[in-house]
Amino acid sequence: MRALVYVALIACGPKSTAQLTPILPDEKPVVDVKPVKLAVPQEHWAGTLVLPNALIDIVLHFTKADDTWAATIDIPASKISALPLSQVTYTDDTIRFIIEKPDNVKANEMYVFKRTTDAAVGKVILGGAAFHAKLMWLADGQPPRSVISRPQAPKPPFPYTIRDVAIEASKDASLAGTLTIPQGTGPFPAVLLVSGSGQQDRDEAIFGHRPFALIADQLARVGVASLRTDDRGVGQTTGPLGSIDTDIADAKAAFEFLAKQPEVDPKRAGIIGHSVGGTIAPIVATKAKVAFIVGLAAPGVSGVDLVPMQLELELTARKLPVPLIKAIVEGQRKIGKAIVAGKEADIKKALRTSFTEAAAAMGAPKPSDAELDAAVASKMPEVNNPWTVSFFKIDPTVAWNKLRIPTLIVIGVGTLLRRICCR
């Protein structure tokens, strides 16, 4: 989810408050190998880094000369091969190295792993934040593969037709997407898949998984066609970014394109909206002939109410002190209301108040006027972002109350693991 003026992440608070550890995907042993002795001159490891929105596979090559280990790294996703590493430590219980950055980049990347014989777990330090990583030793001749498996990815051959499409959304925007058509004789029922906030690709890829690709695959196997598109700024879609109204217009254009396809029954064409896509879906349904809606974690309130609720859950999961949580959440609520009112002076006042009250709740000294001015100035571009403003202002209940079509809302309630992530 794009950042939404979370006042928890303020310059006058402790740095640890802003470092969020991602929820980790399920991990299972991926291979059984025999222990290796460290005396051999070459060692090879495969690894996976768990970053905020992706799983990145790496391959490490260690070479021993004169009792000293040197190493290189391959990062296929970035087309990096045999990049030399510095400050290499390679022992029975530790693997450590650094990727040095150019002089114009402030911080190097540090990788630290606690090793058993043929596996290692640890972290990578990127921009001051720590992310989970895992390695597995490769036997001689064993090809590298992802250490954290992604078993959900649909694999060919597919029992359906896949067609790349381009949709004219406006004079300056073209939506690139994938149309999935079941086997057999149509016309078929169909759905448009609408992603959540932030710029998502057509598969809504995250942590190496592709949930929209999986949904499209499963729907096609039971006779339902689907369309999913890249958002503006991602993949092959073109056009300038805008507000949530831009997203609504794009979704409407995509839905109308889907309903006109010869393989689709327009009377059985609906929308599946995930997160903010579930806000967009009912609004599109007031503007087009949508037959049904499925909301996956769809908001039922405006951003001004939703963001404080999300923030409270997130901070509670991180076990922050209750007075601090209350101060931050109440500050966020005031900021949201000021954004909706649209007066810049009131927004700046709400920001200053939230920073001051959060500092007091932490037992920190009151920020100086200069510190508050700097903190407010750093937040104003985010606050004034057209998408952020429109998200706080739009109220999905207005559209929901106008509709009289079949609707399924799916909300998952589970254990909060370190970070609540609503996309």
pLDDT digits (tens, 9 = 90+) for 249-308: 999 999 999 999 999 999 999 999 999 999 999 999 999 999 999 999 998 888 899 999
Q: Which residue in 141, 139, 122, 143 sits closest to 131, CA to CA?
A: 122
Q: Which residue in 113, 114, 105, 109 sits closest to 125, CA to CA?
A: 109
> What share of the chain in percent tops pLDDT 70?
85
Residue type, 372: L
**Domain 160-302+395-410 class, CATH top level:** alpha beta
Q: Mean pLDDT in the chain?
A: 84
Whether residue 369 has pLDDT greater than 80: yes
Does the predicted model carry a pTM greater than 0.85? no
Whether 32-137 shares its CATH topology with 160-302+395-410 is answered no
pLDDT digits (tens, 9 = 90+) for 214-239: 999 999 999 999 999 999 999 999 99
Q: How many residues does the chain have?
A: 423
Whether residue 145 has pLDDT greater than 60: yes
Name the residue with tokens 């932030």: 198
**Can you give the residue ranges of every domain in the chain?**
32-137, 160-302+395-410, 303-393
Query: Which pair of structure tokens corresponds to residue 134?
Result: 């895992």
H helix runs in 384-421, sequence order: 386-393, 396-402
**Domain 32-137 class, CATH top level:** mainly beta
Return the sign of the alpha-carbon dihedral for residues 8, 11, 17, 20.
positive
Out of 3-17, 296-310, 404-418, which region has the weakest mean confidence (pLDDT)?
3-17
Helices 369-383 and 344-361: crossing angle in degrees, nearest 10, is: 120
Highest mean pLDDT among 23-32, 165-174, 310-319: 165-174
Whether residue 129 has pLDDT greater than 90: no
**Model confidence band, residue 14 (pLDDT cutoffs 50, 70, 90):** very low
Whether residue 23 has pLDDT greater than 60: no
Query: What is the enclosing helix (H) or strand (E) of 325?
Result: helix 322-341
For the residues 158-173, what does the mean pLDDT come to? 94
